Structure 1
Amino acid sequence: MRLLIKSAKIIDPKSPYHLKQKDIFIENGKIKAIEDKVDEKADKQITYKNLHVSQGWFDSSVSFGEPGFEDRETLQNGLDTAMKSGFTSVILNPNTDPVIDNAALVQYLKTKTQSHIVNALISGALTEQSKNQQLAELFDMHQHNAVVFGDYKKGIQNANLLKLALQYTKAFEGLVQVFPIENSLSEKAQMHEGEISTSLGLKAQPRMAEVIQIKRDLDLLRYTDSKIHFSCISTADSVELIKQAKKEGLDVSCSVAISNLIYTDKKLQDFDTRYKV
């Protein structure tokens, strides 16, 4: 199979072709030429206005549904969609039914997804059934190639439980992922606290609900000398806290939902549900 991609802007900061407009010739899955103009005969030619090419994308948090919520999305359909959207790897969240909290379920997901071109990585639950009470089978799931452990969209309210998780996973270099939220400050909140939430009359979540939790979790990280990932941070204060922690040498990382990079709560003024995510 000979494929010719015409006049594509290459997005790859590590490449000498970064931000350059080039033809790309691919033969049997391997790039054979990147030139201003390629005249090779091809079985298929791709030409689009404003075409861009980049390395495969990675999504660290996807919720397909299977097992238990196949009506929401199956593994096959989710991975097919990821492939068509340019993603080469994704991490599957454990918020299924049953919750992915043991090695058998991790192995089930690996078996179901192993033949797909998209690499499906597995996130195991941090606690049994994600109930924030007892640690799940972290080491056994790690042995079956779970890459991270966290309770999806649930803050770990028990500080000692998180401390134990950080100490335990340190022994096998596992990664704990936390959703930084203090539940008592955010229960039933529908949006960010501010002028907009007040004018709309909606129950709101103050930024300190996130910041307080991150401060506590960073203290636990210092104590355990382990590693942690904060999922879906949404405030500038959180960015500063994590930036300072990294300067200290703590093994910490974070991610942010793309909507929080682009929009603010002002988008909710007209109750447009497209922005209520």
Structure 2
Amino acid sequence: MNILLKSVTIVNGSTKDLHLKKRDILIKNGVIDAIESSVEPSAKTKVIAQKDLHVSVGWFDSGVSFGEPGYEERETINNGLQTAAKSGFTDIILNTSSNPTPDSSSDIIFFKNAAKEHLTNLYPLGNLTVKGDGQALAELFDMKNAGAVGFYDYKHAITNANLLKIALQYAQNFNGLIFSFPMDKSISGKGIVNEGITSTRLGLKGIPALAEELQISRDLFILEYTGGKLFIPTISTANSVKLIAEAKKKGLQVFCSVAAHNLNTTDAALEEFDTQYKVIPPLRTAADTKALLKGVSNGTIDLVTSDHKPLNIELKHVEFDNADFGTIGLESTFGMLNGLLGLEESIALLTKGRTIFGMETPKLEVGQPANLTLFEPMSEYEFTESNIFSTSKNALALGKPMKGKVLGTIANNQLVLNN
């Protein structure tokens, strides 16, 4: 397939001579063939020309959940990868949120095979422990060899400190990346929202910031003792940012992410008892949001993730106490970030972080495989169900203002366009 992108603005901080310049980009059989001021198409070339067309290297999301296997009614791998492609993501890391959860090499191979022939590349995580129950280490080395890029008991903290110590020591033998979800359950208890003024006024059980910060402090002490690589997904408090910044200054190999919705939504949104706002970690205060944004801008926080988690409608359309945690987010991440941070910082965030997981970063250069996201950054609109591609509709972003739209993606010699 030959594709010509006409008069497209390139957003690519790694190539200074092309950054924010308008060029024609010719792609032949999945490879960038020319980047010129003007390229004339041949008869068999698909021409993409649109007002305010922008392009960057393909976007990357480090924390996505689908349903398959076990919860196919929420999201199949097939529809999930199509949703990712339409949302601008050419590479995603898949959480261990299926049923059963992946704790063997054959499970990892299943995910790799299910994702073949898709535009969006899927990189699976494997369980840290057998069945994700926190008791015994799973087959980490075998899963790594099968293609797992990290090890994570999804949304479950490692309660056994010695287990984390052994995991970090063992994984160094094969450069493995250990995930630890930041929540001490002995502190969070049965909490469902941020502990504070809002939770007290609404009569909802609170999750103290201490639950997150205590877990992170313990994990960082262990990391300093063992060495190795630790990933802390979806932090949410101001002190968490401070703790990780201090650890990085010590030279520890610690990485972290934040969910996009924790950057632009506070626990004040809970006033209407809308279960779409029930997420884990919970929405925190304006002070936390401000610190998280600063941590993103100064590089303390390595990645922004959609934290995409499809859920059946009956798991959300219940009383707040009984609703499940989670929101979809692939479709809204760009519009949310672009409105908050502006074009250049948003694209920098959406294209960074692959090297943490041992993946190659795409290049927007002649002779390189085309791994590209097409978008326009200026349109302003309200996010509605018409913007959702996922099977599930549990979107915290519903009704929120967005800025910019994804127009399509190109990768693996495939093209997906949204119009």
Same structural fold, with TM-score higher than 0.5 when normalized by the shorter chain = yes
What residue number does 1:55 align with? 57
Distance 2:26 2:109 in 1: 38
Q: Aligned partner of 2:12: which letter?
A: D
| Root-mean-square deviation over aligned CA pairs | 1.9
2:66–2:97 Cα contact (<8 Å) kept: no
- The SS at the match of 2:47 is strand
Question: Structure 2 vs 1, CA of residues 230 and 44 (structure 1 numbering), >3 Å: closer, same or farther?
Answer: same
Question: Structure 2 vs 1, CA of residues 275 and 170 (structure 1 numbering), >3 Å: closer, same or farther?
Answer: same
Structure 1, residues 156-204: CA drift from partner, whole Å, max 9, x if none?
Answer: 1111111111111112211101111001221232222222222222112
**Unaligned 5+ runs, structure 1:** none
Distance 1:171 1:187 in 2: 36
1:251: Cα distance to partner?
A: 0.8
Structure 1, residues 55-99: CA drift from partner, whole Å, max 9, x if none?
Answer: 111111111111111111111111122122221211111221111
Matched, 1:102 2:137: no
Distance 1:228 1:90 in 2: 19
2:41–2:47 Cα contact (<8 Å) kept: no
Residue pairs, 1:213-232, within 5 angstroms: 213-232=215-234
User: What is the number of residues matched between the two proteins?
Assistant: 277
Distance 1:217 1:10 in 2: 41
Q: Aligned partner of 2:119: which letter?
A: I
1:211: Cα distance to partner?
A: 0.7
Distance 2:261 2:20 in 1: 25
Q: Aligned partner of 1:149: which letter?
A: F
What residue number does 1:163 align with? 165
Residue pairs, 1:163-242, within 5 angstroms: 163-242=165-244
Distance 1:38 1:99 in 2: 49
What residue number does 1:29 align with? 30
What residue number does 2:21 align with? 20
1:46: Cα distance to partner?
A: 2.3
What residue number does 2:332 align with? none
What residue number does 1:86 align with? 88
Residue pairs, 1:253-268, within 5 angstroms: 253-268=255-270
What residue number does 1:244 align with? 246
Report the more deviating stretch, 27-36 or 179-188. 27-36
Report the more deviating stretch, 115-124 or 21-30. 21-30
- The SS at the match of 2:79 is helix
Q: Aligned partner of 1:212: which letter?
A: L
Report the more deviating stretch, 86-95 or 219-228. 86-95
If asked which structure has higher relative contact order (CA below 8 Å, sep 6+), I would say 2
Distance 2:170 2:141 in 1: 9
2:193–2:204 Cα contact (<8 Å) kept: yes
What residue number does 2:116 align with? 114
Report the more deviating stretch, 97-106 or 13-22. 13-22
Alignment TM-score, normalising by the size of structure 1: 0.92
Q: Aligned partner of 1:93: which letter?
A: N
Distance 1:218 1:158 in 2: 14
What residue number does 2:3 align with? 3
**Unaligned 5+ runs, structure 2:** 280-419
